[in-house]
Chains A and B, each alone.
Chain A
């Protein structure tokens, strides 16, 4: 299920790179459906108190059933077929999109992490509520899109991956904190989550410093890419569509 969710995200990026507008809503639909299951898994991985864990496991079973039904439905079958029939994305077009995405990530990163460096302090103070969490989620999504785009274009994405994962650890804990009501029984659990959140927020801030030069470098590479080299990516001539990548 998690691989399915990741595949949806990767395919969304590929469609974005290829300027294909349709099918994105279908991928988002599928990703949302599987995402409900994943959110529950994230909460369970945080080892909540027994009573809460029982309730979450029950919800998880229901969510799993719902996803199983989705995988049999007309929309999923049609989506698979449509993706398998799409022609490959041209490298030239993809690189232009990557440049735009990169610019956006730099802007977002700068805004959310440097100019608003209080974000991480806010996280510790508020438990990741409101604007801060929203901003970090937006940044994580953007970094993820950029990383997948770099993967499609065979560009090194390790630092992007490290940063995305660091942000993921922050957002997961913030989400777990946000979803639960504080009560006497879960106080220890909350304290632990909060301490982990602060720790991962520091790691994420460190990873951001690491990734920023890579983003700038990536931007230069794309800007200075010679049109002469803009052949089909990943051996387009041999592949029939995005799912073949």
Chain B
């Protein structure tokens, strides 16, 4: 978490899964959220069109689970959720995407494993 703070990120919205681990992570992340947080079942399942519709906002933080987050990243960047293996997202890791939230329309800005975030936090 401190690593994300070091990156100077701020969010307008936070979407998270209802599962306990995601709720706890979202709770930590909520310090960086200026707008509303929302719990959604759409992040406790494979990514869907409905999920993309829910991802409205300029800077949206998403807290979910694997393999679905990698599938979402693959869908948004490569246009194909089936290419999720291109993304390695460990527990506590971050994938940072920029661009229009539509299949194949986003670009990968960073993929940060927990180790790098810990280093950024000075630990």
The chain A residues found within 8 Å of chain B, CB to CB, are 20-26, 29, 74-75, 77-79, 81-82, 85-87
Contacts and interface: CB of A to CB of B under 8 A. Distances in A.
Nearest to A74: B41
A23 B23 contact: yes
A26 B38 contact: yes
Given A75-B38, A78-B39, A78-B41, A22 B23 contact: yes
Contacts of B27: 20-22
Contacts of B41: 74, 77-78, 81
Contacts of A77: 41
Nearest to A85: B20
Interface string B1-44: 00000000000001011111001001100110000111111101
A23 B63 CA distance: 13
A82 B42 CA distance: 13
Contacts of A79: 18, 39
B37 A25 contact: yes
B24 to A, nearest CB: 9
A23 B39 contact: yes
Contact of A75 (B30, B31, B39): B39
Contacts of B23: 20, 22-23, 82, 85-86
A82 B27 CA distance: 12
A26 B39 contact: yes
Given A22-B37, A22-B39, A78-B39, 5 more contacts: A20-B27, A21-B30, A23-B37, A85-B19, A85-B20
Contact of A22 (B26, B44, B50): B26
A85 B27 CA distance: 14
B3 to A, nearest CB: 19
Contacts of A29: 38
9 contacts: A20-B23, A21-B27, A21-B37, A22-B23, A25-B37, A78-B39, A79-B39, A85-B19, A85-B23
A78 B38 CA distance: 9
A26 B16 CA distance: 11
A103 B31 CA distance: 24
A75 B44 CA distance: 12
Contacts of B18: 78-79, 81-82, 85
Nearest to A87: B20
A24 B27 CA distance: 10
A152 B20 CA distance: 22
B40 A78 contact: yes
Contacts of A26: 37-39
Contacts of B17: 78
A196 B41 CA distance: 46
A23 B18 CA distance: 9
